[in-house]
Amino acid sequence: MIKLKIRNPLVLITIALLTLCWAGQTLAARTPLPSPPPVSGKAHVLMEYHSGDILAQSNADEQREPASLTKLMTAYVAFSALEDGAVSLDDEIIVSERAWRMPGSRMFIEVNTRVPLRELLKGMIIQSGNDASVAIAEHVAGSEESFVQMMNATASALGMNNSRFANSTGMPDPEQLVTARDIATLARALIRDFPDNYDWYSQREFTYNGIQQHNRNRLLWRDESVDGLKTGYTSGAGYSLVSSAERNDMRLISVVLGARGDQARVSDSQSLLNYGFRFFESHPLYAAGEELTRTRVWRGASDSVGLGVRDDLRVTIPRGRYDELDAYMDLESAVAAPVSLDQQIGVVRVTLDGEVISERPLYPLQAVDEGGLIRRLFDDVRLWFM
């Protein structure tokens, strides 16, 4: 049981959290956490989806050629345009000669034909069609060059600080580079922000123009818990795979870049996923908007205000160690009105073995206006003697 402590000499409270029992967990005592499995790829990351915690990594911030992993960003930008109402899944897109002539993997659309955006998205996601990617980019932004600007602006907004895109397909370009950490960040955002569209990544095959093609992510056949995301290959990039799987309410994202072959990227990814699910567990601690404590407000229309976190706080820890978690809050010693919703008033920290594993700012759950003249004068006198 976690006790939430407040480091404030005026206040002392404890909030008890219910211990979550995980199906199949039999560890009664602490089991030493083994090292992550060896990975043949040039770079890799294993991320827990809900918390964003990194469970295993190697060369996570080394820039590498993304190949068709680029299409994850193409999809994110297209999904954003759909959400904004700028385009519709039923839009009939006239296939340009540029899109039709794209080399590499294709969904085999024909020049000057009309193809619904819905079909192009499936062709890009399931079949990794370069022709579909360019057609989507031209429809969303008018040209692939303008679409690339949107891709890079989106990467910056998502915090992908070490990645840059030069086209919508992943065709080799010296200016197009990503990192394993950034790709994991992108995959997490895609799953989080567009859950209704994410189902396409689990589809094993797609038929268009009488041609049936299979999803290149072979983990979809090997592991029923896997439901995405994308493969990539060029001679320069090697074999890459971004995969995501969900077991017992825990979702993991694995990124393997630059593996030696298709079998290697699949084996590496499977090993990482199995390691994460076997040796870690994820726990929700505090919900967004939940009142964790109240703090005194001086000179205000109200004499106190509730504090909480803006986003759900969830942690990923080695299995069997939930009872060893500790949490405490550091609060400002004197809070005076007016208090705005954007005013940080403290932090909540979660520790394990004395090490901070998660930290979130605390914000007021309600705004507090200044009190009347008498209240302000009365509080000013009290503050003077404190």
Q: Where are the alpha helices (DSSP H) in the chain?
A: 70-84, 97-100, 117-127, 130-141, 144-157, 180-193, 195-198, 219-222, 262-279, 373-384
Domain boundary among 280, 306, 337: 280
Task: Give the CATH number, domain containing residue 330.
Answer: 2.60.410.10
- Residue 38 preceded by cis peptide, ω within 30: no
Return the SS3 of 34.
Answer: coil
291 and 274, same structural domain?
A: no
Q: Please list the active-site residues.
A: 68, 71, 128
What is the number of other CB atoms lying within 10 angstroms of the CB of residue 88?
A: 12
For residue 121, what pLDDT is reported?
Answer: 98
Domain-embedded: residue 213: yes
222 and 320, same structural domain?
A: no
Residues of the chain under the 50 pLDDT cut: 1, 8-29
367 and 254, same structural domain?
A: no
Domain-embedded: residue 200: yes
Domain-embedded: residue 236: yes
Task: Give the CATH number, domain containing residue 234.
Answer: 3.40.710.10
Rounded Cα distance, 128 and 148, in Å: 18
318 and 256, same structural domain?
A: no
Give the structural domain span for 234.
Answer: 43-280
DSSP 368: B
Domain boundary among 224, 255, 280: 280
Domain-embedded: residue 244: yes
Query: Taking the model in full, what pTM does it have?
Result: 0.86
Rounded Cα distance, 45 and 257, in Å: 9
Domain-embedded: residue 242: yes
Burial profile 253-292: b = 16 or more Cβ within 10 angstroms, e = fewer = bbbbbbbeeeebbbbbbbbbbbbbbebbbbbebbeeeeeb
For residue 155, what pLDDT is reported?
Answer: 98
Domain boundary among 250, 280, 310: 280
Domain-embedded: residue 318: yes
314 and 219, same structural domain?
A: no
158 and 49, same structural domain?
A: yes
Domain-embedded: residue 32: no
List pLDDT tens digits, range 22-46.
333 433 345 678 999 999 999 999 9
192 and 85, same structural domain?
A: yes
For residue 27, what pLDDT is reported?
Answer: 38
Tally the residues of the chain: 386
323 and 268, same structural domain?
A: no
C-alpha distances (whole Å) from 127 to each of 31, 167, 255, 366 are 43, 18, 19, 49
8 A C-beta contact, residue 124 and residue 108: no
For residue 4, what pLDDT is reported?
Answer: 61
List pLDDT tens digits, range 110-165.
999 999 999 999 999 999 999 999 999 999 999 999 999 999 999 999 999 999 99
DSSP 284: E
363 and 308, same structural domain?
A: yes
Q: Which residues pair with 244 in a beta bridge?
A: 228, 253
87 and 15, same structural domain?
A: no
Domain-embedded: residue 301: yes
C-alpha distances (whole Å) from 331 to each of 183, 266, 369 are 36, 47, 20
Rounded Cα distance, 38 and 339, in Å: 51
307 and 186, same structural domain?
A: no
State the total domains in the chain: 2
For residue 385, what pLDDT is reported?
Answer: 62
Tokens representing 168 are 């919508």
335 and 209, same structural domain?
A: no
For residue 379, what pLDDT is reported?
Answer: 55
Q: In the chain, count H helices and then E strands.
A: 10, 18
Rounded Cα distance, 232 and 70, in Å: 8
